[in-house]
Structure 1
């Protein structure tokens, strides 16, 4: 699906509106969470997918990353944030997060919540998220709840 696009190229992130783009996002999630990290396929794709707003990131028009937001009553839950391994470390994940936050704010939300895998907690801290609560097990992996206020819009 990807032939090592130029890592310095600009990334574009958009709300998914087509089945082809959703398929590309699901392929990225399967690659990162199931094949690379070992999550169960049944855990990766859940009922929340149907009610989520999904995002697809592209570099040189090639799908490289994804995320989803789940609208709840008083907040959005950001999840399934993934960037293909060859493209990590280039700020693409932060760009995806900013797009999720911008869309959440546009929809009237002032709070974003996520369940971060412990090993990527520092990534979310760089994006302005703060730890709330204690470490817990989710699908066999240690996670931590993190929260960010979007009252003034996303931080860029």
Structure 2
């Protein structure tokens, strides 16, 4: 893998700035240019609508339609079209009743009003004009728009990769409507939290009860403290059995309640199966649902990584707990004991998620921190969205 260095990042930012300096953008539209651009765009992204509808939308809210050109070009060469939807329009988009070829004006906000949802109607910016998307994202980061979710479709594989580089995530469920084909850039706090998976639901000081993948040594120390209290302190497990040399070769989930670490789970990944182990919940939180949430989050993480089988060791007296999640005693299972406690092998058959990590993903998604595949990572600077 070729990794970007700080100097590379600086070069890329300068390259993006040079590209942006060569691109002009305007929201002054006319029938001749719109008609010509729609014909050109149809070959790349398919038919959108009529020039008259584009002009109608632009007249209703000039923030909706933007034309792009190179600095030395005599006429526009590309365009971005947005539908700035009010609550009625948002609902119509989600339930499928909104006419996207001729959207009614009473479904869109007027200039100066904050929309309920921004729908990326169409993007046609070939070549260097693609850098203009940075200008649009800056525009829609203004106070009027900053906390409004953006939704888009991708007409091509190239468009799908571009959406992912910009931070859009494929597949969303809003207001009970599931849209596996839509891309969403979650920006409202409610949507951001609702779209985050169970294993990435904790945010210090904001979403104070939730679960996170351990990424830092300080968090791994919290895991060690919980397991020491539960297994060494309560069950008299020998230190060498509890800390068996696998902790730095594993993924750990850490559960919080009101910013207090209360439970953990260790996951290890093998060729065609994952293994759950070391589930530990502090004694004072065992009457809560933390254990259930940790197991579900662990299963979700395995599904997101594309696994179809999960293996584990269950205490025989707690096998009923694991059966809640689909686990059963493994065929020809071996029974054994750790520290005088009887265990049995168990297995769960699962299905990968629709957006499970795969080689068809954008390289930017694959290098994101473990469990944070639904949001842009530190390496996704400005050049990531321009490449």
Common fold by TM > 0.5: yes
Cα distance, 1:137 vs structure 2: 2.0
1:28 to 223, 226, 242: 226
Counterpart contact for 1:11–1:59, Cα < 8 Å? yes
Counterpart contact for 2:255–2:261, Cα < 8 Å? yes
Which aligned pairs between 1:26-105 and structure 2 lie closer than 5 A?
26-105=224-303
Tell me the residue number matched to 2:322.
124
2:345 to 141, 145, 151: 145
Instruction: Report the 3-state secondary structure (helix = DSSP H, G, I; strand = E; otherwise coil) of the residue aligned with 2:261.
Output: strand
Tell me the residue number matched to 2:312.
114
Instruction: Report the 3-state secondary structure (helix = DSSP H, G, I; strand = E; otherwise coil) of the residue aligned with 1:34.
Output: helix
Counterpart contact for 1:117–1:142, Cα < 8 Å? yes
> TM-score w.r.t. structure 2 length?
0.36
Counterpart contact for 2:306–2:352, Cα < 8 Å? no
Counterpart contact for 2:304–2:352, Cα < 8 Å? no
Bigger radius of gyration among the two:
2
* C-alpha separation in 2, matches of 1:73 and 1:29: 27
Question: Which has the higher relative contact order, 1 or 2, with Cα contacts under 8 A spaced 6 or more apart?
Answer: 1
Cα distance, 1:108 vs structure 2: 1.3
* Consecutive unaligned residues in structure 2, runs of 5 or more: 1-207, 354-387
* C-alpha separation in 2, matches of 1:37 and 1:11: 27
* Consecutive unaligned residues in structure 1, runs of 5 or more: 1-9
Cα distance, 1:146 vs structure 2: 1.1
Cα distance, 1:101 vs structure 2: 1.0
Cα distance, 1:141 vs structure 2: 2.0
> TM-score w.r.t. structure 1 length?
0.86
Cα distance, 1:51 vs structure 2: 1.1
* C-alpha separation in 1, matches of 2:245 and 2:340: 19
Q: Deviations over 1:52-101 (max 9, x none)?
A: 00110000000000001000111011000011111113221110011111
Higher mean C-alpha deviation, range 106-115 or range 55-64: 106-115
Q: Deviations over 1:89-133 (max 9, x none)?
A: 322111001111111111111111110122221211122211122
Counterpart contact for 1:11–1:92, Cα < 8 Å? no
Q: Would the alpha carbon gap of residues 11 and 128 (structure 1) be closer, same or farther in structure 2, given more than 3 Å must change?
A: farther
